[in-house]
Structure 1
Amino acid sequence: MAPRANWKGFLKVAELSCAVGLYTAASTSDRIAFNTLNRATGNRVRREFLDSETGAPVDREDQVKGYEVGAGDYVALDPEEVAAAVPESDRTLAVSAFIPCGEIDDTYFDRPYYLAPADRDAREAYALIREGMRATKVAALARTVLFRRVRNMLIRPHGAGLIATTLNFDYEVLPAAEAFADIPDIKITGEMLDLAEHIIATKSGTFDPATFDDRYEATLAEVVKAKAEGRRIPKRKAAEPGKVVDLMTALRKSAGGGRKTGKTGGKAAPAQRKAR
C-alpha cells in the first residue's frame, strides 16, 4: 500500500510546474510508547486541565491561548484570532533560487521529506527538474505553507527522487560562538598531531545506518517482554569510572603503542597556544 502524502501541491520552477506530494522520510512512530496507569487499579488515567488558582477543571470549550506579557498578565486569543495568523496557501512549492549543494549549514536542517510526483502526468517534468539539478550539482531553495506555517525548504536529488528538508529560521538557530566561547586556541603539532592523524586513518570507514543499534529501545523491549512473561528483570551494571590517562599515552596506546614518527623522530611535541 502506497504511503499517504502529508502535503500535496505543485513544485514550480519559473513557468515549469508538476504535481508533487511530500511523504514522511523519518519517523519515531515505531518506538516503544507508554500509557500512564493508576498503579492501584491498572486503569489508564486521563489528563485534565485545572484552573491554577481555583483548582477547578476547565472544559475544552473554555480553554483559550494566552501570551504572557507580564508576571501573571496574559493576552487571551480566541481560536478565530489565532487562525487569522495562518497564511493563505496556494499549494505551491515555489523555487526561489538554486544554490551549491553544500552551501547551507547543517544546523539549519529541520525535518526531511520525500518529494515525489503526485500522478503520472507529472513524472516527465519532475524528472527534468531532478536531472537538471543533478547535472549542475545544485539544490533548490523553495517556500510553501506547510502545517499552517510558511516554511523554507531545501530540495536535493536523492536516487530516483528528491528530498525536501524543512529549514530552521535564523532566529531558531543559536549562535555557535556562545557554545564555543570558552574553548582555548591551542596549536597541536608534532607527534601528537601525527598520532591523531594515524588513528583517524586506521578508523576510516563508510556511513551505513543499518549498523546503528538503538540500545535503549532494544533494552526497553526486553524489559517489557520479561515483565509480561513474569521473568526477573536483570539489573543494569553500573558503568565503571574512566581512568585518568595522560593524553600522549592514550594516543600512543590507540595508535598501537609508542610508534616512531618520521616528522618528530619519536619525540613528543607538547600542545602549544597560539600567540594572540
Structure 2
Amino acid sequence: MTRRASWKGHIKFADFACEVGLYSAITSSEKISFNIVNRKTGNRVERQYVDSDTGEQVEKSDQVRGFELDNGDHVIVEGNEIAELMPDSNKIIRIENFIACDNIDKLYFDRPYFLAATDGDGEDALSLLAQAMQRQNVVAVAEAVLFRRNRNLIIRPHGKALIATTLSFDYEVRSQNTTFKSIPDLKFDDEMLELAGHIIKKRAGKFDPADYADRYNDALAELVKAKIEGRPIKKPVEEKRDNVVDLKEALRRSAAGGKGTAEKTARKPASGTRTKKAS
C-alpha cells in the first residue's frame, strides 16, 4: 500500500506481533468544496476569534478552553492540563478477544481504516489472520491509543484485506427507546403483509456502491462547470408524487407495478389497514 498511513504501530495477538499501519478507507477528496470569499474583492476570508462581549479580536495566545456552567460562567482548562490526561501510546493494537460476527451492533461503527503490514514479514501473518477469521466467521475486538485517545476497534476481514473500524463508546450512542418511544405498537392484516412481501421480492437485488450516485455533489459539480463556461444553470426536475394516503391502496398499486390513477385519495386511513395490538 503506497498511500501515507494515518497511524503506524504494531498489532499483537497471543505471542505474535508485527508492524502495521492504518490507512483511511474513506476520502472526501472527490467532493466539491468551497472557500468563503469576499463578494466585493473575490479574496478569501480569514476566520478570526473575537470576544463575544467586547467584540475585540482575541489573540491565539489568549484563547483557552472553558467549560460552561449553568450560570454562564466558564471554568478555564489549560492546554497542558488536558495534555496530562491523554493516555500514553505504546503504538500497539492489542487484540483482546474474538466474537461472532452477528454479536456486534453496527450502530457503534465509527470510522473504517485499512489495516496493512508495513513490512514484508507481517503480510503473511495478517493474511493468515484474515483467512482464519473468515473460516470461523468471527471478528476481533481490539484496543489501542489512536490519535491521542484510547479507542476500541473491530477488526474484520474484507476480501483479502483487514478492516479496522473504530467504535463509538456506549455513552456516545443514543438509545433507540428514547428516539422511537412515540411509535405505536401496530398489527397489520395479512393482505398488507403479503403485499409488502411481494414488493420486497420484486425488488430483490444486490448492493453495489457504484450503482448509487451522490446527486447533490454531482449537481454542485455541474453548477460550478456551468458558471465557468457561462452557461445557464438548469434547475433539477422535481419528481411528481401522487398524494396517496391510504397505505393499503399504495401497496396494491406498487404490487401491481404501476402508480394507477393520479386521483388523490381521501386524507384518512382505510378501514382495517392497521390496528393497535391489545395490551
How does the TM-score come out when normalised to structure 1?
Answer: 0.91
Q: Which residue number in structure 2 is paired with residue 68 of structure 1? A: 68
Q: Is the 8 A contact 1:156 1:164 kept in 2?
A: yes
Q: 1:250 to 1:241 in 2, by over 3 A?
A: closer
Q: Is the 8 A contact 2:51 2:58 kept in 1?
A: yes
Q: Which residue number in structure 1 is paired with residue 200 of structure 2? A: 200
Q: Which residue number in structure 2 is paired with residue 46 of structure 1? A: 46
- The more displaced of 157-166 and 234-243 is 234-243
Deviations 1:54-100 (A, max 9, x none): 11111111111111123321111222111111110000000111000
Gaps of 5+ in 2: 259-270
Amino acid at match of 1:44: R
Q: 1:145 to 1:228 in 2, by over 3 A?
A: same
1:98 and 2:98 aligned: yes
Deviations 1:203-228 (A, max 9, x none): 00001000001110111111111111
Amino acid at match of 1:96: E
User: 1:241 Cα deviation (Å)?
Assistant: 6.0
Amino acid at match of 1:14: A
Q: What is the distance in 1 between the residues matched to 2:237 and 2:275?
A: 40
Q: Which residue number in structure 2 is paired with residue 222 of structure 1? A: 222
Deviations 1:218-253 (A, max 9, x none): 111111111111222123445656413422211111
Which structure 2 residues correspond to residues 105-124 of structure 1 after superposition, within 5 A? 105-124=105-124
Q: What is the distance in 2 between the residues matched to 1:62 and 1:114?
A: 40
Identity of aligned residues (%): 50
Which structure 2 residues correspond to residues 16-31 of structure 1 after superposition, within 5 A? 16-31=16-31
Q: Is the 8 A contact 2:244 2:250 kept in 1?
A: no
Q: Which runs of 4+ in 1 moved over 2 A?
A: 69-72, 234-242, 268-273
Q: 1:274 aligns with which of 253, 270, 277?
A: 277
Q: Tell me, what secondary structure is at the counterpart of 2:116? A: strand
Q: Tell me, what secondary structure is at the counterpart of 1:20? A: strand
User: 1:187 Cα deviation (Å)?
Assistant: 1.1
Q: What is the distance in 1 between the residues matched to 2:97 and 2:124?
A: 21
Which structure 2 residues correspond to residues 128-139 of structure 1 after superposition, within 5 A? 128-139=128-139
Q: Which residue number in structure 1 is paired with residue 59 of structure 2? A: 59
What's the RMSD between the two structures over aligned residues? Answer: 1.8
User: 1:143 Cα deviation (Å)?
Assistant: 0.6
User: 1:127 Cα deviation (Å)?
Assistant: 2.2
Q: 1:256 to 1:72 in 2, by over 3 A?
A: same
Deviations 1:106-156 (A, max 9, x none): 110001110011100112222222222122111000010111110100000
Q: What is the distance in 2 between the residues matched to 1:10 and 1:240?
A: 55
Q: Tell me, what secondary structure is at the counterpart of 2:111? A: strand
- The more displaced of 248-257 and 22-31 is 248-257
Amino acid at match of 1:275: A
Q: What is the distance in 2 between the residues matched to 1:189 and 1:244?
A: 19
Amino acid at match of 2:277: K
Q: Which residue number in structure 1 is paired with residue 265 of structure 2? A: none
Amino acid at match of 1:84: E
Q: Is the 8 A contact 1:109 1:167 kept in 2?
A: yes
Q: What is the distance in 2 between the residues matched to 1:169 and 1:203?
A: 36
* Count of residues in Structure 1 that have an aligned counterpart in Structure 2: 267
User: 1:269 Cα deviation (Å)?
Assistant: 6.2
Q: Which residue number in structure 2 is paired with residue 265 of structure 1? A: none
Q: Is the 8 A contact 1:192 1:269 kept in 2?
A: no
Which structure 2 residues correspond to residues 208-247 of structure 1 after superposition, within 5 A? 208-237=208-237, 240=240, 242-247=242-247
Q: Tell me, what secondary structure is at the counterpart of 2:85? A: coil
Amino acid at match of 2:85: A
Q: What is the distance in 1 between the residues matched to 2:117 and 2:223?
A: 43
